[in-house]
């Protein structure tokens, strides 16, 4: 480990790049830079304000903000104060914010908008450890007594810098490699998120491993648009850029990401599978508007590229004549496709969810490899395909510093110096995920003869959407079943862009509802299709959606005309759904919800 802690890394980068810009924000159709010097001064001011406001070493600070420079500034400021930074998803409900803030024992909460402040204020009475709420928008502080503005907070810190500098040096400079520095909350099968404690060792070793696999320099263009509270964006985004001395362009409007790519032209681009699916769809749609001659030229290049790609994947020799023909005709087509990424793209990385093989092959045939990776909150750097050595359908070989083996039951086991320290306040759950020093990932997989890891399934019931969000279906299903009308609920959406649900109704309760509303029906099956019943179910679903994040919301649902039964092998004797059986049996109904 080259650096003892994040502070030593940060201090070196500030000294190296002090006058260069580290952040860029969009203002009036141009990019405004924020220097490393400003980053340093504001992070220290934030740390100073935390210290004079009573944050003790190891105390937690919760950040509920979108992608704005104040996020990494307050994150580093918390680290300089010897605290633990805790990110919350901007899509979290008030109820979810309340749980994470309380469970993490957060003493300070940062918000950036009226929406986020309203969430916190609505549960403020139950936030037992919170000393102060800090709002990025100054008008929120003016309109809400007891809320301090971010700038006011920085000013307090700036006024006490000389008095707190020795404390900062002692807490941050003397931080030990195994000290917890951030907490990332991850979903569990019980539905309640767990706070994974990540140390300085975890962070530094992870970014050093990343740099051995994916070349990234201080001249590379990088965008900040994925949630900082997600472990991948925190480690491979924020801290990876810090390690490389690279700048970040903040995407204030996700719909503008494409425009910014066209403008800035990144050499490499990390994202989620859903993004590449959208680019593929756009290319195909644009191609449909071309002349037959242009379509034929594109198809010819794609055919040649696929031949080369498949030979490469099979580790077979590629005939020189095939390569020469591809090079002769492919230029204009490749240039056209690269323009969808800004014109300078060499490769892209994909993680968080499975990447469809057809998408990977399409872009590889057009000389843009999509390198899939695999990791989890507990160990973000597990496996990664390399720019010069990749295989479709796999997540690559283990990363430097990480060992992987497959248990007898097919579960992927991991051992490394990039391991989390445990779940906060939950030693029993921590013990459950370790066996003889190996992390039990809950994922199933296999290693091929060349050491490439292939993910084959999940041992634990976690849905991963195409946007990379890990979701515990049990939580949402239990919320749906809180209403007496709902008998069983199955949440579905693995690899999809949104969630849907298959619902069954309690016959007695549904018939009672029908009688009280004067609804006539011939049999129960007909009643389940009644307009008034469906509207009621819709209101139940909407109520649950208000209690969860937008990514956990049920977009569409279907109501079966019968209940699930033990006799049909659909539920257990304790009335738990047999997820695999029910998902397969009613797959056609579920898939139609995505039409």
> Rounded to whole angstroms, how far apart are CA atoms 542 and 501?
12
DSSP output for 117-157: HHHHHHTGGG-TT--EEEESSHHHHHHSTTEEEHHHHHHHH
Q: How far is CA 156 from CA 35, 52, 53, 153, in A?
A: 21, 8, 9, 5
Residue 584 has which token pair?
A: 């397969």
Residue 423 has which token pair?
A: 């779940």
> Rounded to whole angstroms, how far apart are CA atoms 169 and 189?
41
| Cβ–Cβ under 8 Å, residues 458 and 443 | yes
- Measured over the CA atoms of residue 436, residue 438, residue 440 and residue 443, the dihedral's sign is negative
Quickly count: other Cβ atoms within 10 Å of residue 454's Cβ: 17
Any idea which residue has 């003889």 for tokens?
436
Any idea which residue has 């292939």 for tokens?
454
Residue 69 has which token pair?
A: 């420079």
Q: How many CA atoms lie within 13 A of 88 on its CB side?
A: 33
> Rounded to whole angstroms, how far apart are CA atoms 575 and 477?
13
Residue 452 has which token pair?
A: 């490439």
Residues found in the chain:
595
pLDDT for 254 equals 83
Any idea which residue has 């937008």 for tokens?
550
3-state secondary structure of 251: coil
Q: How far is CA 196 from CA 90, 229, 268, 370, 430, in A?
A: 19, 12, 29, 29, 9
DSSP bridge pairs for 373? 384
Is it true that domain 471-592 has CATH number 3.30.450.20? no
pLDDT for 188 equals 46
> Rounded to whole angstroms, how far apart are CA atoms 469 and 225?
14
Any idea which residue has 């989620």 for tokens?
272
Q: What is the CATH number of domain 6-21+36-175+225-236?
A: 3.40.50.980
> Rounded to whole angstroms, how far apart are CA atoms 249 and 221?
8
pLDDT for 189 equals 39
CA nearest 99: which of 88, 110, 91? 88
- Measured over the CA atoms of residue 134, residue 135, residue 136 and residue 141, the dihedral's sign is negative
Decide: residue 115, CB within 10 A, 0-12 exposed, 13-18 middle, 19+ buried: exposed
Say how far residue 309 (Cα) sits from the centre of its chain. Answer: 29
CA nearest 209: which of 235, 183, 246, 245? 235
Give 238's DSSP letter.
Answer: I
- Measured over the CA atoms of residue 405, residue 406, residue 408 and residue 409, the dihedral's sign is positive
CA nearest 306: which of 255, 266, 355, 362? 362
| Cβ–Cβ under 8 Å, residues 96 and 86 | no
CA nearest 252: which of 550, 551, 21, 31? 31
Question: What is the bridge-based pairing of β-strands 463-464 and 194-199?
Answer: unpaired
Q: Where in the chain is the domain with CATH 3.30.300.30?
A: 471-592
Q: Where in the chain is the domain with CATH 3.40.50.980?
A: 6-21+36-175+225-236
- Measured over the CA atoms of residue 201, residue 202, residue 204 and residue 208, the dihedral's sign is positive
> Rounded to whole angstroms, how far apart are CA atoms 594 and 502?
13
User: Which residues have a Cβ under 8 Å from the Cβ of 181 and sit 6 or more positions away?
Assistant: 5, 6, 79, 84, 85, 175, 198, 199, 200, 203
- Binning the chain into helix, strand and coil, the percentages to the nearest 5 are 45, 25, 35
- Measured over the CA atoms of residue 405, residue 411, residue 412 and residue 418, the dihedral's sign is negative
> Rounded to whole angstroms, how far apart are CA atoms 537 and 576?
21
Residue 400 has which token pair?
A: 């430097």
Any idea which residue has 């007496």 for tokens?
484
For the chain, residues with pLDDT lower than 50 are 188-190
> Rounded to whole angstroms, how far apart are CA atoms 314 and 519?
63
Cα diameter, the chain:
81
> Rounded to whole angstroms, how far apart are CA atoms 533 and 521?
12
């Amino acid at each position: 480990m080259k650096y003892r802690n994040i502070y030593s890394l940060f201090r070196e980068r500030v000294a190296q790049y002090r006058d260069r810009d580290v952040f860029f924000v969009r203002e009036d159709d141009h990019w405004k830079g924020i220097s490393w010097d400003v980053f340093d001064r504001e992070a220290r001011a934030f740390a100073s304000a935390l210290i004079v406001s009573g944050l003790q070493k190891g105390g937690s600070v919760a950040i509920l903000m979108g992608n704005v420079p104040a996020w990494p500034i307050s994150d580093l400021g918390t680290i300089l104060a010897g605290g633990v930074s805790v990110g919350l998803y901007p899509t979290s409900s008030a109820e979810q914010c309340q749980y994470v803030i309380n469970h993490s024992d957060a003493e300070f909460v940062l918000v950036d908008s009226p929406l986020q402040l309203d969430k916190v204020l609505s549960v403020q009475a139950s936030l037992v450890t919170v000393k102060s709420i800090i709002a990025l928008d100054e008008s929120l502080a003016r309109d809400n007594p007891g809320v301090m503005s971010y700038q006011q907070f920085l000013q307090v810190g700036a006024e006490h810098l000389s008095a707190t500098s020795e404390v900062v040096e002692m807490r941050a400079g003397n931080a030990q490699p195994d000290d917890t520095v951030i907490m990332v909350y991850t979903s569990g099968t019980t539905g309640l998120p767990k706070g994974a404690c990540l140390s300085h060792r975890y962070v530094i070793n992870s970014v050093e491993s990343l740099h051995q696999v994916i070349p990234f320099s201080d001249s590379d263009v990088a965008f900040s648009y994925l949630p900082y509270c997600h472990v991948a964006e925190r480690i491979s985004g924020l801290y990876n850029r810090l390690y490389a001395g690279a700048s970040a362009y903040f995407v204030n409007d996700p719909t503008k990401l494409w425009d910014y790519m066209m403008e800035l032209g990144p050499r490499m681009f990390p994202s989620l599978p859903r993004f590449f699916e959208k680019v593929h769809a756009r290319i195909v749609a644009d191609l449909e508007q071309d002349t037959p001659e242009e379509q034929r030229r594109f198809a010819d290049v794609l055919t040649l590229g696929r031949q080369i790609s498949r030979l490469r994947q099979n580790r077979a020799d590629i005939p020189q004549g095939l390569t020469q023909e591809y090079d002769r005709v492919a230029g204009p087509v490749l240039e056209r496709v690269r323009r969808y990424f800004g014109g300078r793209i060499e490769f892209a990385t994909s993680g968080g969810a499975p990447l469809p093989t057809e998408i990977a092959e399409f872009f590889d045939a057009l000389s843009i490899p999509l390198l899939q990776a695999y990791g989890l909150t507990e160990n973000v750097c597990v496996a990664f395909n390399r720019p010069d050595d990749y295989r479709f359908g796999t997540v690559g070989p283990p990363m430097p510093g990480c060992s992987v083996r497959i248990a007898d039951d097919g579960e992927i086991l991991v051992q490394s110096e990039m391991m989390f320290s445990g779940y906060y306040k939950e030693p029993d759950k921590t013990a459950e995920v370790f066996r003889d020093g190996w992390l039990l990932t809950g994922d199933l997989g296999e290693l091929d003869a060349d050491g490439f890891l292939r993910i084959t399934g999940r041992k634990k019931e976690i849905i991963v959407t195409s946007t990379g969000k890990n979701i515990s279906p049990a939580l949402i299903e239990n919320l749906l079943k809180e209403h007496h009308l709902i008998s069983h609920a199955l949440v579905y959406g693995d690899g999809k862009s949104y969630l849907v649900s298959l619902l069954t109704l309690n016959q007695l309760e549904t018939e009672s509802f029908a009688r009280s509303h004067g609804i006539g029906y011939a049999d129960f099956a007909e009643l389940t299709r009644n307009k008034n019943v469906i509207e009621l179910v819709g209101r139940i679903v909407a109520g649950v959606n208000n209690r969860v994040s937008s990514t956990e919301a049920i977009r569409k649902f279907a109501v079966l005309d019968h209940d699930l039964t033990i006799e049909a092998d659909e539920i257990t004797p304790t009335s738990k759904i047999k997820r695999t059986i029910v998902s397969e049996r009613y797959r056609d109904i579920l898939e139609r919800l995505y039409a």
